[in-house]
Amino acid sequence: MKQYVVDAFTDKVFKGNPAAVCLPESWPSDELMASIAMENRFSETAFAVREPEGWRLRWFTPGGEIDLCGHATLASAYVILRFVEPDADVVRFRTMSGVLTVTRRRGDGRDGDDHAGDVFTMDFPAFDLKPMPVTDAMERALGARPVEAWLGRDLLCVMPDERTVRDLNPDQELLKDLPGLLVNVTAAGAADSGFDCVSRSFAPKLDVPEDPVCGSGHCHILPYWSRRLGCDGLVAYQASARGGVIHATVAGGRVGLGGGAALFSVGTILPD
């Protein structure tokens, strides 16, 4: 089984969010896909199979299958559009979250790399957010008190400023007791940062302490900031140790997530 490792939401290796992309000829067992994800230890390993109806995509964390993942979808589109369908600029995936479309805008091919500067934009569903009371449990788990809390698939905690988000050192065990699948923490970007918002995403329930750049988390974060700032176009920064930039649009209950990708490795899995 061919496997690619791609850093998403960046144009340089060792930045952004790494994902493994596997292209089996037919579907492995769920148990094997879960074992491969555990062996890889990335926040997500994606499996894409071309079926008669088109591409189907599934995502596995070290803790199990997940219903939506942004960076591994971007990585999968990068692999397919570069190595499998190089003449195409659009790929559509059937997933647990419906049909997801990824469009490539070709880059400038600098330094002799035909794919340098390529940007991939994903059309994702926005999560509905419901306000929640800020609790002492949130403050204990995060080490700082949010000023607002919202719940979709994930918990979204809004902090007073960017520095608070960057300095967080949360208690991973206490995070598991909070509602939601992931805990996304966000604040407005500093005036001189060039970013509308900054964030971090924690997923100990999925055996991922911190997701370096979380696309599905931004399907919570970006709708919040779009309403708060009154704009449809946003630039977001994920302030993890690796860091990553997302260029986004929010409209009609959908979120457009755009970013680059960089290939780290190509290999073969020998599951037998």
Local structure of 271: helix, strand or coil: coil
> Is 51 one of the annotated active-site residues of the chain?
no
> DSSP of 28-52, one letter per residue?
PPHHHHHHHHHHH-SS-EEEEEEET
> Considering only CA atoms, which of 42, 39, 35, 50 is closest in space to residue 69?
42
Tracing tokens 């999925």 back to the chain, one arrives at 206
Residue 208: in which H helix or E strand, if any? strand 208-211
Local structure of 205: helix, strand or coil: helix
Local structure of 89: helix, strand or coil: coil
Q: From CA 199, how far away is CA 84, in angstroms rounded?
A: 34
Q: Which of 31, 39, 44, 148 is catalytic?
A: 44
Q: 61 with 206: CB under 8 angstroms?
A: yes
The catalytic residues are 44
